[in-house]
């Protein structure tokens, strides 16, 4: 019993939320199993394990930081993030026609990954300065900051990541209780104006902003057979893999689409198709249960927090996690355009995994740290 008490004391000292930590580890182990089945070399698994060790270490460190410190230094974090994005545009290294990385010599770093955390921290800090729902000025400042970040990342070009990071800021606005009342006392007219603005923005984007390959992705989402050996190849092979899995799947390392390399990017963006093919509907359902439990726990922690900043930040980070899961599965299933979003905790990759577990470290920090008395009124 003394040994158990010592372990509990040691664990509590590191301020880790045990249920959330166990869910993350379970999902990550499941991801390593599927990555082992999809990959062609054991070296890839060793690299991913190293990524997990680094990511968990980052999560552990961030969990020790009280949320009010993030709030206090959020303006500096935002300025630092914008500075890095400007460096990418000026001196960034290119790959596959995109200039998204900074070459540090020993590794390549993608600053847009860092913005996935910085943006919700900064917007939550701005909106939590006063009582909610926020006044027009904080909303205007928030929207301006979000648009600036989105444009800088879209310039790389990385439209998918820019839209998702923009959504992370919009989620904070949503949880703050902002109301879109352009015309007062007429909900139907407000609805019509908003719908018209969305349609108009879409038309402008299609004609003047989207590049040719981005338009092609949207068109092949609607009908992949337009270019079955080009832009539509990923979606067609993914659908074949998902459909052939059936109820129980073909078994680990028995999927024809992944094992015979018909399915592109089967260790990264399209690993969900591998899960569906080899484990079937039940395997997919198991993965969705893992995700559902993580999301439920994170929302519970966020809503039980003591101050507005923590509530806004925790809830928005949770909704961002859900969005990444939704976009990846929708993309692989052919319901959304291919935008290069990895499946959280499952796909191979280092920078995205570190960023993801860092966000969970913030949520654990919200759970384990009490708000100082001078901040409790916010």
**pLDDT attached to residue 266:** 82
Tens digit of pLDDT for each residue in 38-57? 887 788 889 899 999 999 99
Which of the four pLDDT bands, split at 50, 70 and 90, describes residue 197? confident
Considering its fold, how many domains does the chain have in total?
Answer: 1
Is residue 372 scored above 50 in pLDDT? Answer: no
pTM: 0.88
**pLDDT attached to residue 238:** 87
**pLDDT attached to residue 93:** 76
Q: What is the mean pLDDT of residues 321-336?
A: 91
Q: Does a structural domain hold residue 304?
A: yes
Q: Does a structural domain hold residue 43?
A: yes
Which of the four pLDDT bands, split at 50, 70 and 90, describes residue 183? low
CA-to-CA distance for 12 and 23, rounded, in angstroms?
Answer: 17
Tens digit of pLDDT for each residue in 214-249? 777 777 777 777 777 777 888 888 888 898 888 888
Is residue 256 scored above 90 in pLDDT? Answer: no
Q: Does a structural domain hold residue 287?
A: yes
Which of the four pLDDT bands, split at 50, 70 and 90, describes residue 363? very high
* H helix or E strand, kind and range, residue 241: helix 233-245
**Residues 196 and 152 sit within 8 Å (Cβ to Cβ):** no
**pLDDT attached to residue 97:** 66
Q: What is the mean pLDDT of residues 63-71?
A: 89
Which of the four pLDDT bands, split at 50, 70 and 90, describes residue 76? very high
From 367, 338, 339, 342, select the one nearest 354 (Cα to Cα).
Answer: 342
Q: Does a structural domain hold residue 42?
A: yes
- Listed in sequence order, the residues at least 6 apart from 226 whose beta carbon sits closer than 8 Å to its beta carbon are 219, 220, 232
- Listed in sequence order, the residues at least 6 apart from 115 whose beta carbon sits closer than 8 Å to its beta carbon are 81, 85, 149, 153, 165
Tens digit of pLDDT for each residue in 18-30? 899 999 999 999 9
Token digits of residue 128: 């939590």
Which of the four pLDDT bands, split at 50, 70 and 90, describes residue 374? very low
Q: What is the mean pLDDT of residues 12-37?
A: 87
Q: Does a structural domain hold residue 227?
A: yes
Domain limits at 255?
21-64+223-369
From 212, 255, 204, 246, select the one nearest 231 (Cα to Cα).
Answer: 212
Q: What is the mean pLDDT of residues 354-359?
A: 92
From 325, 320, 308, 324, select the one nearest 366 (Cα to Cα).
Answer: 308
Q: Does a structural domain hold residue 206?
A: no
Averaged pLDDT score across all residues of the chain = 84
**pLDDT attached to residue 224:** 78
**pLDDT attached to residue 172:** 92
DSSP lists the bridge partners of residue 93 as 101
Which residue is listed with tokens 């893999």? 241
Phi, then psi, of 186 in degrees rounded to 5: -150, 90
Phi, then psi, of 167 in degrees rounded to 5: -65, -35
Is residue 344 scored above 50 in pLDDT? Answer: yes
Tens digit of pLDDT for each residue in 94-143? 776 677 778 776 667 788 888 999 999 999 999 887 777 888 888 889 99
Which residue is listed with tokens 């052919």? 334
**pLDDT attached to residue 328:** 92
Which of the four pLDDT bands, split at 50, 70 and 90, describes residue 5? low
Q: Does a structural domain hold residue 211?
A: no
CA-to-CA distance for 131 and 26, rounded, in angstroms?
Answer: 39
**pLDDT attached to residue 375:** 44
**pLDDT attached to residue 185:** 62
Q: Does a structural domain hold residue 243?
A: yes
Tens digit of pLDDT for each residue in 285-327? 999 999 999 999 999 999 888 888 999 999 999 999 999 999 9
Token digits of residue 94: 């290119």
**pLDDT attached to residue 10:** 60
Percentage of the chain surpassing pLDDT 70?
89
């Amino acid at each position: 019993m003394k040994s158990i008490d010592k372990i509990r004391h040691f664990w509590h000292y590191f301020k880790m939320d045990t249920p959330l930590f166990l869910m993350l580890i379970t999902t990550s182990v499941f991801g390593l199993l599927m990555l082992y089945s999809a990959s062609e070399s054991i070296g890839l698994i060793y690299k991913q394990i190293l990524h997990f060790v680094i990511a968990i270490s980052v999560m552990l460190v961030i969990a020790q930081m009280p949320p009010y410190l993030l709030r206090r230094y959020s303006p500096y974090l935002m300025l630092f993030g914008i500075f890095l994005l400007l460096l990418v545009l000026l001196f960034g290294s290119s790959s596959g026609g995109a200039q998204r990385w900074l070459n540090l010599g020993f590794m390549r770093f993608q600053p847009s990954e860092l913005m996935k955390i910085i943006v919700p921290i900064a917007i939550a800090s701005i909106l939590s300065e006063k009582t909610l729902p926020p006044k027009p000025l904080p909303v205007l400042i928030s929207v301006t900051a979000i648009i600036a970040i989105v444009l800088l990342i879209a310039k790389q070009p990385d439209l998918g990541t820019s839209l998702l990071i923009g959504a992370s800021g919009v989620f904070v606005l949503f949880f703050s209780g902002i109301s879109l009342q352009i015309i007062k006392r007429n909900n139907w007219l407000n609805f019509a104006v908003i719908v018209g603005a969305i349609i108009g923005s879409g038309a402008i984007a299609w004609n003047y902003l989207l590049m040719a390959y981005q338009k092609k992705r949207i068109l092949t989402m609607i009908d992949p057979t337009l270019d079955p050996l080009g832009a539509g190849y990923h979606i067609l092979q993914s659908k074949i893999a998902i459909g052939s899995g059936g109820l129980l799947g073909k078994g680990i390392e028995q999927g024809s689409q992944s094992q015979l390399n018909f399915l592109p990017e089967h260790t990264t963006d399209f690993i969900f198709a591998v899960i569906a093919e080899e484990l079937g509907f039940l395997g997919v359902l198991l993965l969705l249960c893992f995700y559902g439990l993580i999301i439920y726990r994170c929302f519970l922690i966020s809503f039980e927090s003591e101050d507005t900043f923590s509530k806004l930040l925790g809830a928005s980070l949770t909704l961002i996690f859900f969005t990444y899961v939704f976009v990846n599965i929708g993309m692989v299933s052919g319901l959304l355009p291919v935008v290069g979003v990895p499946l959280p905790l499952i796909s191979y990759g280092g920078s995205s995994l570190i960023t993801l577990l860092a966000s969970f470290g913030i949520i654990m920090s919200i759970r384990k740290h009490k708000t100082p008395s001078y901040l409790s009124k916010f």
